[in-house]
A and B are shown apart, each in its own frame.
Chain A
Amino acid sequence: MTQTMVILMSGIVGFLAVAALAIALGRSGAATRIVYGASSGISLVLLAVVVARIVNGSPAISFMTLPLGLPWIGAHFRLDALATFFLIVVNLGGAGASLYGLGYGQHETAPHRVLPFYPAFLAGMNLVVLADDAFTFLLSWEFMSLMSWALVMTHHREQNNRRAGYVYLVMASFGTLALLLAFGLLSGADGHYSFEAIRAGVHAPPVAAFVLALMLLGAGSKAGIVPLHVWLPLAHPAAPSHVSALMSGVMTKVAVYGFIRVIFDLLGDPAWWASVIVLLLGGTTAVLGVLYALMQHDLKRLLAYHTVENIGIIFIGLGLALAFNANGMSVAAALALTAALFHVLNHSLFKSLLFFGAGAVLSATGERDMDKLGGLIHRMPYTSFAFLVGCVAISALPPLNGFVSEWLTFQAVLQSPELPQWSLKIIVPAVGGLLALSAALAAACFVKAFGITFLGRPRTPAAQHAQDVDPFSLAAMFTFAALCFAAGVLPGFVIDGLSPVTLSLLAERMPVQANAAWLSIVPIAESRSSYSGLLVFVFIALAASLAAYFIHRFASRALRRGPAWGCGFAEATPMAQYTAGSFAQPIRHVFATLIFCAREEVDMPAPGETRPARFIAYLRDTIWDGLYAPVAVAVSYVADRLNVLQFLTIRRYLSLVFLALVTLLLVLTIWS
């Protein structure tokens, strides 16, 4: 029970205390500042403590047992390399969101519905990462879900938010059920719930297969794997923006942590075919997520669907790691796992940044719909700059961090021809192609998001009169933008920081990056490939400065403003600009005709008619219609049939109880 552990647990208790304080403070004006200030303080302390742990080398694993929960189990907590990394992700996100909340929270119309649950949410996420037995894990998981549900239902008067909360609750319960069954299978008949015992136990292959499937359902639905992603684009936009950032950027990563913990750590060595399922799910999720995102015109829904894509990329990395691990190629497995974990960190950084930006736009204009915005780069210069950095990072463009994790994943794909299994030989190149396709479509998506929202001319008065947001929000955005940049030009440090995690899970690590020249990163060996983010950035900066200098010396400096080219027509209204739907139309025509049954209908009035022309684009969510709607129909059918149980006579009820008792006694007789 080391000092670090004590500090972490007291931090969590601190969060819960702040939550209680928020209830006590009620609707007072200072409550927002106090709660967010305290949360960010505690998050920073926790962050500093775990970062110090990494910087000091890899110390031994810390444990703590508290006499809470079930009396014969207690509550076990453990801090090892994997938990350290995910604690960094959680607390970095938490600190940023709290800083942002200091400014954004002032615009909240119902702060008493947000403030008590927000620190509790942060506490829940920290608890999940630290949990070391099944009971604590599940309890913290449910607590985290419940707190985030309460935050989703903040503005419960709107019909959409109520529906979002309902779907979220159903999916979260389903996920927890799957996790419960998974842990039940892992614990075995004797009920050894602590992770130590599970790790030491031997699991028969059919059990391992079931556990994998259940974990994919449980952790996958929380992370947002297709087809279990449907709650994500409803719930994430409904919550306040800093909470959306936490849900998209951090909570999905906690789900990934759960998956890694069970599959890589507790289950021992999974069979090679597990990687086939994970790879296929990851690839489909990546492409479908970004295609969904391209069809959206609500900024926050676009960002939420895009989270689905990035989770797909993370699972592709995890699938590759599983494949390499099962075939004994540990160095390649370490590369794939590092790529996936690097993407976890990157995504939490840039997705939070983008959600902060969307929240800033929402508080400045009151609009989330991109078709009602435009020209914000002139009115909100700082926000637009930070959002641009986020867009460049998420589109995997050098020299920022998104490119580094994509590059590492591609290098992992290039290691895979050595894999002997035939199905892997076909699937891995296909998944590599899907990954490349999703990266290109992501860039398209963010050209659309930034271009329609921030560039062009304002389409409504709300956009015309927007003001830039308060310093706290800007500080949070710029901090994350700076971190994106730092992770992009100094990726070697991050990779070296991730090496304890891969060592603990796979007993192998990537080569030490600190030795490479020019701070490059070297996945396998210098001769095979290397990339230096710092040099690329320096070269681009030098080339741009050289060009600017040359232009300023030798070219004319004259500049004059004039009207835009209108092809001979008078100044067109801002409504003649491209909208979100029109920008995505070519891509919709090519990709979505099959996947979303996209159809377009144009209704042009004949010459002389005065009615307006109409353009209608039809899209169907095929997964909802194909999977969820029939299930919902079946469930309500069964519920209707079972409704008759509500209206039985007393004699019938008594006979039901009697039958149940007799059945249980029979089962006991036959089994023993």
Chain B
Amino acid sequence: MRRLFSILLFLIIALASAGLSPHAAVSASPPTATGGEQALAIIVNQSNPVENFSIEELRKIFLGERSHWPNGRRITLVMLDETQPERKAVLRDIYSMSEKDFNNHFIQGVFTGAVFVSPKTLATPAEVRKFVFNVPGAIGYVRVSEVDPSVKVLRVDGRLPEDKDYRFRLAGRIGK
């Protein structure tokens, strides 16, 4: 037993000397302000009857806690990939999670069966728009300048991206 303790003590010291991991440092960094004050539009397929969501409802959808739209369609969440500032803004404002927490949330959610389908990840806003356009149950996000009439923009708490006190912006919230 004493020998076991000494081996484990040595391992603890070795682990402690490794210090903070790089991904922890990244997750602790402040949100990127790339893109200035540009708003993020939450987009759905044009056939989706939903027009407005509260932030809490939106959060449940993005967390995978809701799997179907009111019209019965399965919700398919589409995320931009990790390099995109829009994704960082969504993780900050909707999920309140780091990239690692986001991954863990969906691994665990799919594992427990609580999340029916994990999000799709696409590289560019154009791909997100195209995906949302083609998939009736899709929901995603793009900068407001990337929006075109092929998709529908949702109101969040009754506000559209062009409204002054809209919540989701690349540089952070300006209204609460």
Q: Are A and B bound to each other?
A: no
Residues of chain B having any CB pair with chain A under 8 Å: none
Residues of chain A having any CB pair with chain B under 8 Å: none
